[in-house]
Amino acid sequence: MKFYFPDSQDLVSPTYDFLRDEYAAHRVRLRDDQYAHEVLDQPPYDGILVSKSIVDGSVKGSGKYTTAQRARLHRMGVQRFFRLPPGVEALGDNGAFNYIDEPVPPVTPAETLNFYEECGFDAGVSTDHVVFGFSDMSEGSVEVDPDWEARRRLTLRLAEEFIALALDRKSPVEPVGAAQGWSPATYAQSVLALQDLGYRRIALGGMVPLKTGQIIACLAEVASGLKPETQLHLLGITRIDSMDDFSALGVTSFDSTSAFRQAFMDDRNNFHTAKRAYVALRVPQVDGNPTLKRAILAGTVSQREAIASERETLRALRAFDGSPRSQKVCIDRLSEYESICQSKKSYLSSYEETLADAPWMRCMCRVCKEHGIEVAIFRGTERNKRRGFHNLSVLRAKMAQLKSHRSTDG
């Protein structure tokens, strides 16, 4: 099972000063900042997934790339732009969720293939259109929105045009067929049609909102007509606990930002380990916390007191040595700062678990070895993204463990 990480220009600065919370004066982001595969000892993924809509933008607005970045990507090619090590594949797609509200995709198969070829992708997903709904038909006859089926059929027509163009051009980009559906049966029909068109790699889209049981039901239906040489990719799906089931039903790869984004988007599962996830220690910057800034401007909180508490909290955390005494000091400082920040929710009981186990002390990834407790502090993009990189390394280790178990069982 291979894991692809969707790109959203997530980099960190190797020269960032954690003590002063400052970037180096000479830093040039595009030249100096590093991707996860450069920060960690080993790439935490088998490939990256780059969406055309992230690079070029869509009807919703500009993408994540500046004009200069887009030009560099097209000029240098995806391998050089991302400084990918040997063996890490570049997979392209359209980013259909960015134009989901449009009646038809705002990009043609020719434009899609042009993008893949110009940027030097190893493989690329055909142009698709996400289906809005889903029905497993378990309750008998269900009224289906005609738009669901129209989008599924449109996706197949676009896939037919895409592979015809790729074959006619003798394109170096391996075509990956996009399969959309709104039920197990329609996903199976889409995969059968794509196989008949000549696709040997097929990406199943639109499954992110589905429950795990619904995904498995779709895969079981698809598997009944799957050719031995056909490889299935799940777009935007992790579900690590179900990977064995997915693999048994023909899935060979998936992509997801979940492990990375949980580092700073999840309420609780911020710092991952092989056995569980921990709450990160929230120490927001005084000048970066909207609630605290409003309180200071209103005069209900002293700015001097807030800055002093912030510094004392960070000082206590950096002095943490795992002992009960230092744990108590940290909790006291976190409690005081949480009160000053007027937090709507207290995380103190969770902080006690995080500090008691101190998972960063046992972690062997380069991020934790170099930065220690800084990785466990919820504060600013440099710490939060490094924690996300750590989470990716944990996911990769879990995937390797699953592969090892499958080999042993076999």
Please identify every residue annotated as catalytic.
Answer: 93, 255
Contacts of 306 (CB under 8 A, 6+ apart): 286, 292, 296, 340, 341
Alpha-carbon gap, residue 299 to 410, rounded angstroms: 67
Angstrom CA distances, 48 to 45, 123, 141, 181, 361, stand at 7, 11, 41, 25, 29
Sign of the C-alpha dihedral computed for residues 237, 240, 241 and 243 taken in this order: positive
Contacts of 131 (CB under 8 A, 6+ apart): 148, 151, 152, 180, 181, 182, 206
Alpha-carbon gap, residue 386 to 368, rounded angstroms: 9
Q: At what angle do helices 380-409 and 258-265 cross, to 10 degrees?
A: 140
15 is written with which tokens?
A: 């020269």
H or E element that contains 307: helix 303-318
Contacts of 147 (CB under 8 A, 6+ apart): 132
Amino acid at 18: F
**Residues 206 and 223: beta-carbon distance below 8 Å:** no
92: which strand partners?
A: 50, 124
Alpha-carbon gap, residue 292 to 276, rounded angstroms: 31
Q: What is the Cβ-side half-sphere exposure of residue 377, based on CA atoms within 13 angstroms?
A: 25
Dihedral pair phi/psi, residue 122, rounded to 5°: -75, -40
